[in-house]
Structure 1
Amino acid sequence: MHVLIAPDRFSGPLNAVLAARSLADGWAEAAPSTTVTALPLSDGSAGMLDVVAAARGGTLVPVQAAGPLGSVTAAAVLHVPGDAGGTAYVEADQVIGTDLVPPEARAHAARAGSSAGLGALILSALSTGASRIVVGLPTPAVVHDGGRGLLQVLAGGETVGDLPDVAAARERLAGRDVVIAAADGVPLLGLLGAGALLGQDPDVGPVLAQELERNIGETTAEMERQIEDQPRGLLLSTGRDQVRVARQEGTGAGGGAAFALRLLGGRSIPGADVAADAVGLADAVEQADLVITGSAVVDSASLTTSVVATVARAALDRALPVVVVAEEIRTSRREVAPLGISGTYEIWERSRLHGARRRHGASDLPDAVRARAARLARTWSTA
């Protein structure tokens, strides 16, 4: 029996690489004769570099970049050699991730934080000579500047009025294939946009989120006008109307960094699909009899755009059974069935009396993941 283990990251320090290792170790303990392949994945947010490096190797290029509030933070870009200079991978979570700012500073970061550090990472990616630049973007991010900071860096400080010169920034990326690996498809503006999600953060609140929505709406409109004469097909035609870039699917990732990169000619692809292609998920599935995936939380949203959904669809093409492991399962058997998911399992058992999970610390998680994998092996292994 050949088992493929392809999870996303779990919570705390258990990134995708460590989660895959814990699941593989637990399975091997209970079914040592099984062939187990660990293939950690990412949705484009935290841990993307670790995942690609584990599968493809490459060189980590250290970068000193500004964090969301300006302080210098250590980051890196991954360069994977290949044709035409290869591919450089940029992980935006290193400079705009939500874990970089404490809760009491979240409102300030949303109002005054900058994506300039991401611009520095992209410049470092360009310096590798790679013809393809993959930018992994989280949703949400701790900043909400519509990508203004990164545009300012890429434009070299040139401005049009008081805004970055988008044409100058586009020139900096000329000839490069820029791929936006977005964690989900939320737009920047609108009732279901990144601003609305920001308003659900209790440390930010709806009042500030509405203020930022108005400000960014005006700013993005001005930046879009700078590229109206560019033949890149940025505006989507819908009958008589055209959809603004800032309202298009996926532009809200990274606090609007995805919007800025779309203005620069970047193309947006679901982050989980980008990672799956980079690590060779399709080929790995071809060799498997059973596929195990997972993440911290599995809910209805994750059944469309996520590592779990991407892995399940790849396995469905070969009619392979898929097992999902998560800290929390918020879906029903009926919801997961169309993806070919045969079973969903929480890492910690619920109380039989109250249906509630016991509270556990982050230090308990790796051992609990191994224990759950061992129980799965005893149920699913044919060895």
Structure 2
Amino acid sequence: MNILVAPDKFRGSLEAAEVCDAMRDGILKAYPNANVTTIPLADGGEGTSKILTRQAKGTEVTVTVMDPLNRPIEAVYGLSEDKDVAFIEMAAASGLGLLAIEERNPLRTSTFGTGQLIADALDRGVKKIILGIGGSATTDGGMGMAEALGYSFKDSEGNTLLPSGQSLGNISSIIVRNVDQRIGLTSITVACDVTNPLYGPEGAAYVYGPQKGADPEMVATLDQGLENLAQVATRALGRDVSLVPGAGAAGGLGAGCMWFLDASLKDGISIVMEQSNVAVLVEKADLVITGEGKVDEQTLSGKVVKGLAGLCRSYNVPLAVVCGTLQITSEQAKAAGMTYAVSVLNRPMDLNAAQRDAYGLVSDATFQLMRLFFFNRDAISS
């Protein structure tokens, strides 16, 4: 009996590796002789760099960079064992989690620190960068990142602009003569799990600005600024990427990566599964068990569960999903390729209790699904 355990983290409760351990415990309680393979996954958001670094048998690098409000902090990224690939998360330098609630203001925040991480990786001679852009505190269209790599942004009078959301509307020209030439020699792939355009009603400012501290007036200012950036960058760099799915990710950093790094955007789970060689493990499995903190309609459009469901379907391997909160119907689960989906909440409890007891709840839910799954399989075969 070969069982593959491949979950995402349960945000606020368990890291993906801890979810793996809990699920393994539940499986072995039900079937002590099961052959269990565990591999933690991520969708491009927080935790992706650590997972990819671990799978590449790599090491972590600590660098002093500027946080979203231009204060020095220590940020970490990963290098593969052969030092050829860097695994970077923009959240490590420019993430919302680095700010207190009262500090959130996307007119002021910048992705400059993310650019510093990229520059450090280039200094170490990497040939490839995988950049996760989830969890941002910024809506600067990648302006800060670009400045850290040699781009310069000028207003109509030729003054150099400080990189921030507030400066977007004042950009009149982009100077490229001092850009780090190593960018053009490096393959850069961006892990992106949303499909929003850069600006407009479904763009970066209107959809994600409020969670970063923007009030309605700020949202309108940021949206106009991102549209201005699109017009100027298209003239300066020769292509308009503002409507490419994912351009609006991370406050427009998706578009910024395409413009300023010549990067390609790819959904995060596909990148992680490719780097982890998950397809080979799925093909050999009798059952795949995955999970994440919440399974809802957003899950159906590109999260870990969705990515695994497609892979399991192609190999005709059943997929069981364990989650903290289950907010899809049985019809939606079936249509998405899930054989079984269950919440770990087995009794009424508040969030604090659920998070505190998460390990045991995941283990128990996995035990129950194992007994149910193999009872049904045995009953059918007999």
Q: Mark yes or no: TM-score above 0.5.
A: yes
Q: 1:379 aligns with which of 359, 367, 372?
A: 372
CA distance in 2, matches of 1:373, 1:54: 25
Distance 1:201 1:60, change over 3 A: closer
CA distance in 1, matches of 2:148, 2:186: 17
Question: Which residues in structure 2 correspond to 1:111-190 (within 5 Å)?
Answer: 111-138=107-134, 140-155=135-150, 161=158, 162=160, 165-166=175-176, 168-169=178-179, 171-190=181-200
Provide Cα deviations, 1:297-349, integer angstroms capped at 9, x if missing partner: 11112212111111111111011111111111111111122232111111113
Q: Shift of the alpha carbon at 1:156?
A: 6.2
CA distance in 2, matches of 1:39, 1:48: 13
Q: 2:214 aligns with which of 197, 204, 209?
A: 204
Which residue in the other structure is 2:98 paired with? 100
Aligned residue identity for 1:318: Y
Which residue in the other structure is 2:52 paired with? 52
Distance 1:150 1:48, change over 3 A: same
TM-score by length of 1: 0.87
Q: Shift of the alpha carbon at 1:10?
A: 1.0
Conserved? CA contact 2:3–2:286, under 8 Å: yes
Which residue in the other structure is 1:214 paired with? 224
Distance 1:371 1:167, change over 3 A: farther
CA distance in 2, matches of 1:73, 1:183: 27
After TM superposition, the structure 1 stretch with the greater mean CA deviation from structure 2, 124-133 or 275-284, is 124-133
Q: Shift of the alpha carbon at 1:168?
A: 4.0
CA distance in 2, matches of 1:270, 1:179: 10
Q: 1:273 aligns with which of 238, 251, 270?
A: 270
CA distance in 1, matches of 2:154, 2:148: 11
Which residue in the other structure is 1:314 paired with? 311
Q: Shift of the alpha carbon at 1:98?
A: 2.1
Percent of matched pairs sharing the same residue: 26
CA distance in 2, matches of 1:79, 1:199: 32
CA distance in 1, matches of 2:151, 2:222: 25
Distance 1:167 1:184, change over 3 A: farther
Q: Shift of the alpha carbon at 1:373?
A: 1.8
Q: 1:366 aligns with which of 359, 371, 377?
A: 359
Aligned residue identity for 1:48: T
CA distance in 2, matches of 1:114, 1:327: 33
Q: Shift of the alpha carbon at 1:199?
A: 4.5
Paired residue secondary structure (2:225): helix
Which residue in the other structure is 2:10 paired with? 10
Relative contact order, CA 8 A, sep 6+: which one is greater?
1
Aligned residue identity for 2:351: R
Conserved? CA contact 1:350–1:358, under 8 Å: no
Conserved? CA contact 1:151–1:166, under 8 Å: no
Aligned residue identity for 1:360: N
CA distance in 2, matches of 1:122, 1:48: 16
Which residue in the other structure is 2:320 paired with? 323
Which residue in the other structure is 2:168 paired with? none
Paired residue secondary structure (2:345): coil
Which runs of 5 or more residues in structure 1 are unaligned?
Answer: 229-233, 235-243, 352-356
Distance 1:167 1:14, change over 3 A: farther
Q: Shift of the alpha carbon at 1:112?
A: 0.2
* Mapped pair 1:332 → 2:329: yes
* Mapped pair 1:300 → 2:297: yes
Provide Cα deviations, 1:62-108, integer angstroms capped at 9, x if missing partner: 111111112222222211145xx6211111111222222122222x2
TM-score by length of 2: 0.87
After TM superposition, the structure 1 stretch with the greater mean CA deviation from structure 2, 254-263 or 216-225, is 216-225
Distance 1:131 1:202, change over 3 A: closer
After TM superposition, the structure 1 stretch with the greater mean CA deviation from structure 2, 320-329 or 23-32, is 23-32
Distance 1:365 1:195, change over 3 A: same
Provide Cα deviations, 1:330-371, integer angstroms capped at 9, x if missing partner: 1111112223211111111355xxxxx643343222222222
After TM superposition, the structure 1 stretch with the greater mean CA deviation from structure 2, 159-168 or 88-97, is 159-168
Which runs of 5 or more residues in structure 2 are unaligned?
Answer: 161-170
After TM superposition, the structure 1 stretch with the greater mean CA deviation from structure 2, 321-330 or 191-200, is 191-200
Which residue in the other structure is 1:24 paired with? 24
Aligned residue identity for 1:35: N
Q: Shift of the alpha carbon at 1:265?
A: 0.9
CA distance in 1, matches of 2:202, 2:152: 32
Conserved? CA contact 1:185–1:270, under 8 Å: no
CA distance in 2, matches of 1:329, 1:364: 17
CA distance in 2, matches of 1:76, 1:189: 31
Aligned residue identity for 1:367: G
Conserved? CA contact 1:196–1:209, under 8 Å: yes
Q: 2:205 aligns with which of 168, 172, 195?
A: 195
